[in-house]
Amino acid sequence: MGAAGSGSSALDDRPPSELVLDDRVHRSLYTDPRVFELEAQAIFERTWVYVGHESELPHPGDYKTAEIANQPIIVSRDELGELHVLYNRCPHRGTTVCEEERGTANFFRCPYHGWTFKNTGKITGVTLPDGYPDGFDINDYGLSPVARVDMYRGLIFASLAPEGPSLDEHLGRAREYIDLKLDAAPEGRYELRSPSRCYVGGNWKLQMENSVDGYHGTFVHQSFLNLQPRNLGSNQGVDVGRDYGAEQGLSVDLGGGHSMLDNRSRLGTIVTEFTKNRPGGAQYWEMLVARLGPERAQAAVEAGTDAINLEIFPNLVLIANQVRLVRPCAVDRTEIELYPLGFAGAPPEFEKDQLRVHEMRYGSAGFVGPDDLEVFRRVQRGLQAKAVEWVLFERGMHRTEKDHHGALVACSADEVPQRAFWREWKRLVELCV
Amino acid sequence: MSLELSQAEAEDFLIHDALLLDERRFDEWLELFADNGIYWIPSAGDDPDNDTSIVYDNDEVRRMRIRRFESRHNWSQDPPSRTLHTISNVRVEMSETGEPVVYSSQVIFAARVNHTSILPARCVHRLEQVNGSWKIALRKVQLLDPFQFMENLSFPI
């Protein structure tokens, strides 16, 4: 099945079920703008999409602006502390009412004709109201809320669809690993630091596939591994010239399109020993053990550093000590925000070291991230070849098993996570078409 | 050598600094820094201990950055970026501790794979004397848009 086909435009004559197979997907799913629009409707306008973190809006009146599928929204906290997610769109003639990335405001005023709204979305004033007849009820003209908003462990999600699984149902088995990663906060409290920001001239799914790809590390990141950086704790003692332990951990399908790479068994106590020896690390470790006990503390440290890459369908990744948001802008343009976590109560020198490690690895000037982005750019170029139709995801199918939860599992260099992603992608797209 | 830095000397220093980068003479560029020198590109805020920076390189990390260019597997620089710095609006002031601080407006052009990025920045070079030579204690590149989404800034600017 590797022969080149005619490469005709797929969406005209083949439904998604023929474009996503068990072991491969069609190239057009990364290159066709109509697929991009289909994804907006079938996925980003239906399921739960991450829009922010409670630490970005700590006080009543705080807000941030964001987008879901290129639709502008405001995430705000009202006077009572409740969160709202509103369409950033004046009901009158369609102007955005807020252009700041974040701020504090009890009201939003439209620049066009001065209509004013509370941060709950409720309208408080229409200018020159005599232009509207009796019976005109301004309460019909607030900022429209999105259909559903919910939060898990400080992570705020919104759904543009009024019906569907709850956030808890959507997150499913991923919750257990969100909990584990966030337990690395020594006092159980954390916030998001300002993000690193990158873009790539490639499809968003390339970044999603890569974030839980345990196969690529030695190859893409060899120039980084060769530096033997002091602070690469999870790779102490790894022989860079070999396979980077790529087949010793696990890749896991958590259901619902979520997945993870789980390298805890490979790392053993390497990461905890490394953590204790970091600046402020001994004190950090003591705090964590005091709160969680030694076993959970060790698991949390491993998960919260490099041992677990957790992917939340469709576009959120918890990796290293960061929250990574992957924003599809166009079929061949993706913006990526990487928010390092700040741990409340952790020793300042520990927190500073965490930030330095993040900066060294990630963002547009890091030693790790840019090589991935370059590969995505090349993939997007390579996929322009129409006659070579398929993108292959068959790694590990012959050795995929079920764990005691019933989850599909293979080794970390296998493509279980990617198959998990595409299965959910296909399910949602087939519901829509 | 005088501890004061004239306008001409400041401009020469900046031009040389930029030339080394534009000619990819990175090992020589590293030697412009004092041992404790910092190369800093801020992003969202001005507190490097709490606000994530794009680059905050001490000597160790700066040298790692340059060593990465030696690798055949540095994909982000395969092919390499070529830069051009234009420098203007240079002003020299004295810091509270009596050392020169050089401010400049720079536009850094970076060309790679049929695309040229334009990065305007207000730069700050804090200099100090080390064995009779001026060395960089702080090289801060304050981008005009520090919160923009960038594709590839793995090379020093």
Listed in order, strand segments (DSSP E) in A31-159 are 49-53, 62-68, 71-77, 83-87, 102-104, 107-109, 116-118, 123-125, 148-152, 155-159
Q: Are strands B33-41 and B133-143 parallel, antiparallel or unpaired?
A: parallel
ipTM strictly over 0.90? yes
Percent of chain B clearing pLDDT 70 (strictly above)? 99
Contacts of A370 in chain B (CB under 8 A): 75-76, 152-154
- Flag whether pLDDT at B130 surpasses 50: yes
Identify whether B80 is preceded by a cis peptide bond (ω within 30 of 0): no
| CB spacing of B76 vs A371 below 8 angstroms | yes
Residue B106 lies in a domain: yes
Confidence tier at B2 by pLDDT (50, 70, 90): low
pLDDT tens for each residue of B35-67: 999 999 999 899 999 999 999 999 999 999 999
| CB spacing of B52 vs A193 below 8 angstroms | yes
> Taking the complete model, does pTM exceed 0.80, yes or no?
yes
In whole angstroms, give the CA distance from residue B33 to residue B65: 14
Based on the structure, what is the number of domains in chain B?
A: 1
Residue B36 lies in a domain: yes
Token pair 């547009």 in the structure block, residue:
A364
Residue A359 distance to chain B (closest CA, Å): 6
pLDDT tens for each residue of A214-238: 999 989 999 998 887 765 555 554 4
- Flag whether pLDDT at A3 surpasses 50: no
**Do B60 and B35 meet the contact criterion of CB atoms below 8 Å apart?**
no
pLDDT value, residue A223: 93
Which residue does chain B place closest to A199, by CA atoms?
Answer: B151
Confidence tier at A1 by pLDDT (50, 70, 90): very low
Contacts of A377 in chain B (CB under 8 A): 113, 151
Using alpha carbons only, give the angle A193, A197, A200 rounded to the nearest 5 degrees: 155
pLDDT value, residue A244: 52
**Do A240 and A225 meet the contact criterion of CB atoms below 8 Å apart?**
yes
Residue A334 distance to chain B (closest CA, Å): 10
Residue B1 lies in a domain: no
In whole angstroms, give the CA distance from residue A127 to residue B97: 57
Q: Residues A183, A186, A192, A195: is their CA dihedral positive or negative?
A: negative
Percent of chain A clearing pLDDT 70 (strictly above)? 93
CATH number at residue B22: 3.10.450.50
Contacts of A219 in chain B (CB under 8 A): 73
Residue B55 lies in a domain: yes
Residue B29 lies in a domain: yes
pLDDT tens for each residue of A162-189: 999 999 999 999 999 999 999 999 999 9
H/E segment holding residue A339: strand A333-343
Q: Between residues A272 and A252, which one has the greater pLDDT? A: A252
Amino acid making up residue B42: P
Over residues B94-117, mean pLDDT: 95
Mean pLDDT across chain A: 92
pLDDT value, residue A230: 66
Neighbours of A231 (CB within 10 A): 16
Q: Nearest by CB to A358, which of B49, B52, B61?
A: B52
Q: Nearest by CB to A373, which of B54, B60, B152?
A: B152
Confidence tier at A392 by pLDDT (50, 70, 90): very high
SS3 call for A333: strand
pLDDT value, residue A317: 98
Q: Between residues A286 and A242, which one has the greater pLDDT? A: A286
A-B C-beta contacts closer than 8 Å: 102
A337: its two tokens: 């925000």
Domain membership of residue B134 as a residue range: 7-143
List the end-to-end C-alpha distance of chain A, in Å, as a whole number: 27
Class of domain A49-152: mainly beta
H/E segment holding residue A357: helix A348-361
DSSP letter (8 states) at residue A15: -
- Flag whether pLDDT at A240 surpasses 70: no
Identify the bridge partners of residue A66 per DSSP, sorted by sequence position. A73
Over residues A31-38, mean pLDDT: 95
Residue B135 lies in a domain: yes
Mean pLDDT across chain B: 95
pLDDT tens for each residue of A65-100: 999 999 999 999 999 999 999 999 999 999 999 999
SS3 call for A302: helix
Q: Nearest by CB to B55, which of A351, A365, A374?
A: A365
Confidence tier at A7 by pLDDT (50, 70, 90): very low
Q: Residues B2, B5, B6, B11: is their CA dihedral positive or negative?
A: positive
| CB spacing of A194 vs B52 below 8 angstroms | yes
User: Distance between alpha carbon A63 and the CA centroid of its chain, in Å?
Assistant: 20
**CATH classification number, A173-432, choose in 3.40.50.300, 3.90.380.10, 3.10.150.10, 3.30.450.40:** 3.90.380.10
Using alpha carbons only, give the angle A138, A140, A146 rounded to the nearest 5 degrees: 135
Q: Residues B43, A149, A335, A109: is their CA dihedral positive or negative?
A: negative
Token pair 């060309």 in the structure block, residue:
B111
Percent of chain A clearing pLDDT 90 (strictly above)? 85
B91: its two tokens: 């002003």
Amino acid making up residue A204: W
Neighbours of A140 (CB within 10 A): 8
| CB spacing of A227 vs B149 below 8 angstroms | no
Domain range summary for chain A, segments of one domain joined by +: 49-152, 173-432
Listed in order, strand segments (DSSP E) in chain B are 33-41, 55-57, 82-94, 100-112, 115-130, 133-143
